[in-house]
Amino acid sequence: MLNGTTAELVERKALRINPAKTCQPIGAMYAALGIHGCMPHSHGSQGCCSYHRSHLTRHFKEPVMATTSSFTEGSSVFGGMANLTQAFKNIFTIYNPEIVAVHTTCLSEVIGDDIPTIIKKSIEDGSIPAGKIAIHANTPSFVGSHVTGFSNMVMAMVNYLSEKTGTTLNQVNVIPGFVEPADMREIKRIAAAMSANIVMFPDTSNVLDGPLTGQYKMYPEGGATVAQIKSAGDSIATVALGHFASHVAAATLESKCNVPAAFLELPIGVGATDRFISTLANYAGVEVGPAIELERGRLVDLMSDLHQYFHGKRVAVAGDPDQVIAITQFLVELEMKPVYCITGSPGNQFEKRMHEILDGPVPEAKIKQTADLFELHQWMKNEPVDLLIGNTYGKHIARTENVPFVRFGFPILDRTGHRFFPTVGYMGAVNLINQMINVLLDKKDRECDEEWFELVQ
């Protein structure tokens, strides 16, 4: 199985082998978990919900709760209104969430269920009790990717919840993108260190990386509250991190509530983090502060110390478009050569932005959207690389080609701890450097001649 990839390149227009993405509802479910007291609901068959829950559970090593409309043959023919209406009654009676976030699946999308009408009717007939909330996002699996689903659910939060009262609040919205709970926690830590008041949504920190207390909570302490998301319409500005995961929601909030938005990339590495911190400081009217400046200095010092090991190394990167764009910029800052960069998600912005980053320093780079790991492996067979960065599915390539491998992005199914260690911000960049240098030196130690097997590298 590991050696089934051929070196001969054949153009494929319809077939994808090991696509570097998964389906929309997974991203929507993850975003919904970032609302405090929220029950994600999958409007489709039980199998879809089970797969999405298990995939998230395996990545985060935490139980992921979600409900389903449990479509049967009858629902497939006559529509899912009865199932969703009954689901609302059961959910609020048994689990009593503050809010239910409905996302659709392929089946309900093909049928054409009108979710807003069903929600409106459920409010009128009491299936959704007074004081409770239901929102929805259309997330067909045959369109886009899990990043698209995340984006659509965050946009639904804005559409359903955010409102402008006319009183501007001293706060800045941050839409963090499809990142780990540790990254969301790091963004909040950076803001606190700068004394910047932010409202971040969604926020899965302390939801999918919470402590073991001996007592199970259906709705952990973390997550952005409904009140906070509502107040986003009165904020000074919005900082959206990641074109594919966050920009649509920020643009929607700007249009709906007239909240100006800054559209940035994920703050991975020096330059991108500089831009995020400067933008946040400018909007919040605060100083960056010496603590943040010290963190930046430590990162730059580490980059200088390890430059000899990174310079000129050829790298292949695969994953979500926002994350590939951000880490590619960081690799260029390290003077490495990202020669192969792919994403499974669609969207012309990916190739356009990647060419802007790489055409100067790495003109030979191969860049492709809506790509797959099979083709990436073929490229590597023809012209090898020194390092592979991607999610767990890249391990087959790494083992076959004996390439040092850094697990990065979603999903990571065969390792733990990633939900605790950020990759955003200056300290996140330190974590990434640590992972990269360790796998590179591990291979050097394994394969070097005995006379070069030294204690000090």
- The parent domain of residue 94 ranges over 24-143
Least confident of 139-143, 237-241, 294-298: 139-143
What residues pair up with 133 in beta bridges, in sequence order? 99
Q: Do residue 315 and residue 397 come from a single domain? A: yes
Q: Check residue 397 and give its pLDDT.
A: 96
Q: Do 269 and 388 reside in the same domain of the chain?
A: no
- The percent of residues above 90 in pLDDT, for the chain, comes to 87
**Nearest-angstrom CA–CA distance, 328 and 269:** 9
- Structural domain contains residue 115: yes
Whether residue 7 has pLDDT greater than 90: no
117, 239: one domain: no
- Angstrom distance (rounded) from CA 398 to CA 406: 10
347 has a pLDDT exceeding 90? no
The SS3 call for residue 369 is: coil
* Rounded mean pLDDT, 390-411: 96
Q: Does the residue 164 lie in any domain?
A: no
What pLDDT was estimated at residue 453? 87
Query: Do 35 and 139 fall into the same domain?
Result: yes
Count structural domains, the chain.
3
In a domain, 148, yes or no: no
Q: List the beta bridge partners of residue 372.
A: 19
The set of catalytic residues is 106, 110
Q: What's the CATH code of the domain at 339?
A: 3.40.50.1980
Residue 26 and residue 55 in contact, taking contact as beta carbons nearer than 8 Å: yes
* Residues 275, 273: Cα–Cα separation, whole Å: 5
From 126, 143, 160, the end of a domain falls on: 143
**pLDDT greater than 80 at residue 358:** yes
403 contacts 422 by C-beta, under 8 angstroms: no
What's the pLDDT band for 235 if we cut at 50, 70, 90?
very high
Mean pLDDT of 406-428: 95
If asked whether residues 275 and 299 sit together in one domain, one would say no
| pLDDT score for 2 | 59
Examine the pLDDT at 80 and tell me if it is beyond 70: yes
Q: Are residues 366 and 259 part of one domain?
A: no
Pair (355, 427) in one structural domain = yes
Residue 138 lies in a domain: yes
Looking at the structure, do residues 93 and 176 belong to the same domain, yes or no?
no
347-362: average pLDDT: 95
Same domain, 322 and 433: yes
Residue 13 clears pLDDT 90, i.e. is over it: no
Of 261, 289, 317, the residue at which a domain comes to its end is: 289
pLDDT by residue (tens digit) across 201-214? 999 999 999 898 99
Where is the domain boundary, 289, 317, 332?
A: 289
User: Is residue 162 in some structural domain?
Assistant: no
Residue 456 lies in a domain: no
Give the model's pLDDT for residue 15. 87
Residues 408, 314 share a domain: yes
186 lies in some domain: yes
Q: How confident is the model at residue 425 (pLDDT cuts 50, 70, 90)?
A: very high
What is the mean pLDDT of the segment spanning 122-138?
Answer: 96
Is residue 17 situated within a structural domain?
no
Residues 285 and 257 occupy one common structural domain = yes
Same domain (yes/no): 131, 179 = no
Q: Give the pair of three-digit tokens for residue 437.
A: 């240098």
Helices (H), 194-269: 226-231, 243-257
* pLDDT, tens digit (0-9, with 9 covering 90-100), for 214-229: 998 999 999 999 999 9
Over residues 145-194, the pLDDT tens digits come to 999 999 999 999 999 999 999 999 999 999 999 999 999 999 999 999 99
- SS3 for 103? strand
- How far is it, in rounded angstroms, from Cα 79 to Cα 64? 27
Q: In this predicted structure, what is the pLDDT of residue 1?
A: 46
What three-state secondary structure class fits 24?
Answer: helix
pLDDT at 452: 86
